Structure 1
Amino acid sequence: MPGELRPIVDLEPGPGNPTSLLRTFVGLHLRDLGGWIRVAALLELLATAGVSNSSTRSALSRLKGKGLLLGEKRESIAGYRVDPAAVTELERGDRRIFSYRGQKDDEPWCLVSYSLPEVDRSKRVQLRRALTGLGFGAVTDGLWIAPGHLHAEVEDALAALEVRERATIFITQTPLTAEPFAQAAAQWWELDRLAARHTEFLDRYEQYVPDALRTQNAASPQPPADPREAFVLWLRCVDDWKTIPYVDPGLPASALPPDWPGMRSVELFAQLRRSWAEPARSHVREVAAGK
């Protein structure tokens, strides 16, 4: 609804909790099943990933409250379907999570300048949270910057909060800073924290890729022999990864330190997707069909 920004990917709480895993399952699989799944199949699948039935039911209640799921019976069978109002946000999340885009040094930047009075303090807080969630860096309190390809997403955020008329968007070349641009970027974005997120992902999942395959565009590693294992690995992999592309806007090389781990983790995620996504999808379809 206007005046409220309702992201499908929450930055908090962190990955691995039942609500986050269920949200990840919905984004990965529920639309592929036609948008509906029976409760028994959902409980079975989440149990495979280590989530108890009671925790899954609690998470279902939370996601219903957030407007992601609707309870629906089909032929007297209890189930859940994707709320149609959430489809656009899910599709937007797909693009951000699975189509990582890095900015080139010669591509433009997007700057957002806004001024909101104290009476609109709550919207000001929401806007700052939204800009952070889109990967914008704070130059000053009312001036934010991100790669130019995020222009459409910030337009949507401003419109959703009904503050578009209070903001100005500039599409510009690289700003001229007093210090080297990389030093300025390190102040605008929390690059150390972001690098730690990438490194954590690498440390957790590089073990699944043989050393010989850890090069860009290399062949995919072999998927696990057990489709259930592929399902669990892929679910947890995406759950760990899904917030990283939101806080990492894809800065160009000129804005990053020379030992930046981001592209390594981007390629690792792509390799694991090529290996695990299809067997995981097949397992979900089998369980959902009651086979």
Structure 2
Amino acid sequence: MDDGPAPLPAPSARALLVTVLGELVYPYEGPVWTAALIEVMRGLGVEEHAARQAIARGSAAGWIEAERHGRSARWTLADRGRRLIEDGMRRSAAFVEEPEPWDGRWLVLLVTVPQQQRAMRKRLYGALTWMGLGNPTPGVWLSPHAEAVDEARETVAELGLEASTLSFVGPVAGIGLSEDEIVRSAWDLEELGARYRALIDRYGDVDPAPGDEMLFTHIELLNALQRFLRLDPRLPVALLPDWVGREGGELFRSRRAAWSAPARARFREIAEAAGPG
């Protein structure tokens, strides 16, 4: 890999572990020794201590379950981990698909959370951002993906905010902000576009050798995809016709198609060769 500009800040050990679990452990369908996970994490630039800590925290979070063999362990995905991964798989599949024509409707949420409830505000903002909603003015969240209404309803209900939330689905009425102004106010697309361009510069011409190089490059790129999922609202062409993110989506789509099978095959070799660790 070259040392060009990073498309995103360096990922945490926890984030890399989630990618490894989803892309490698989930399809492996068997217990994996700690040593195999550490070998892959080390290849991704994570020191052993940090890798073990991430695994322990993944266990505490209910993502993985241990099968103890003396002081060593083999790991399988817990139900919570499977749900996390399957949700991520659905989102990533939708993310790299060609966008459907937009019908002009917006999903709009007006949510009031008292200033003193900072933890609640943080949870709400995190959930709505993960769904791709933008925040053009205080208390207003919106998305051109009106089909997200059911997920938004569940989020508001889980947080107990029904009594302080109003919602609408429909086109803008031409009062106040234009759609172009809404887009520029709701999302920081300039920084995101720069990150996409750095991603394309870094991975666009990469041709990793089979084996470890392909495995680690594949996981690095998938980890970037998972983080772009949280940043890119996937705006329709009608709102953002020349969006570099679509080129980024094609990069994710083509590289995953080419690299996933050989990367998983290499992981199987690592998993089957690993012993207690």
TM-score with structure 2 length normalisation?
0.84
Amino acid at match of 1:137: G
Moved over 6 A (4+): none
Q: 1:145 to 1:175 in 2, by over 3 A?
A: farther
**1:285 equivalent in alignment to 2:268:** yes
Identify which of structures 1 and 2 has the higher relative contact order when contacts are C-alpha pairs closer than 8 Å and 6+ apart: 2
**1:194 equivalent in alignment to 2:192:** yes
Query: Is the CA contact (8 Å cut-off) linking 2:62 and 2:78 kept in structure 1?
Result: yes
Counterparts of 1:75 and 1:108 in 2: how far apart (Å)? 58
Q: Which residue of 1 aligns with 2:120?
A: 123
Give the SS at the match of 1:73: strand
Q: Which residue of 1 aligns with 2:5?
A: none
C-alpha RMSD over aligned residues: 2.6
Q: Alpha-carbon deviations, 1:93-148, whole Å to 9, x = none?
A: 11112321535332532111222345644312321222123221113222210121
Q: 1:45 to 1:175 in 2, by over 3 A?
A: farther
Counterparts of 1:243 and 1:93 in 2: how far apart (Å)? 11
Percent of residue pairs identical: 27
- The correspondence of residues 98-137 of structure 1 with structure 2, limited to 5 A, is 98-100=93-95, 102=99, 104-118=101-115, 120-137=117-134
Q: 1:247 to 1:156 in 2, by over 3 A?
A: farther
Q: Alpha-carbon deviations, 1:183-240, whole Å to 9, x = none?
A: 22101111112212222211211122xxxxxxxxxxxxxx744222211111000112
Counterparts of 1:252 and 1:197 in 2: how far apart (Å)? 19
Aligned equivalent of 2:222, options 234, 238, 241? 238
Q: 1:57 to 1:159 in 2, by over 3 A?
A: same
Cα deviation, residue 269, structure 1:
0.7
**1:61 equivalent in alignment to 2:56:** yes
Gaps of at least 5 residues in structure 1 are 1-12, 209-222
Give the total of aligned pairs: 264
Q: 1:284 to 1:103 in 2, by over 3 A?
A: same
Q: 1:53 to 1:273 in 2, by over 3 A?
A: same
Counterparts of 1:175 and 1:68 in 2: how far apart (Å)? 45
Give the SS at the match of 2:259: helix
Q: Alpha-carbon deviations, 1:236-255, whole Å to 9, x = none?
A: 00112212122212112232
Q: Alpha-carbon deviations, 1:157-176, whole Å to 9, x = none?
A: 22332324432332213453
Query: Is the CA contact (8 Å cut-off) linking 1:199 and 1:261 kept in structure 2?
Result: yes
Amino acid at match of 1:188: A
Q: 1:224 to 1:120 in 2, by over 3 A?
A: closer
Q: Which residue of 1 aligns with 2:149?
A: 151
Q: Which residue of 1 aligns with 2:235?
A: 251
- The correspondence of residues 215-230 of structure 1 with structure 2, limited to 5 A, is 224-230=208-214
Q: 1:266 to 1:232 in 2, by over 3 A?
A: same
Give the SS at the match of 2:168: strand
Q: Which residue of 2 aligns with 1:140?
A: 137
Counterparts of 2:56 and 2:70 in 1: how far apart (Å)? 22
TM-score with structure 1 length normalisation?
0.80
Gaps of at least 5 residues in structure 2 are 1-7
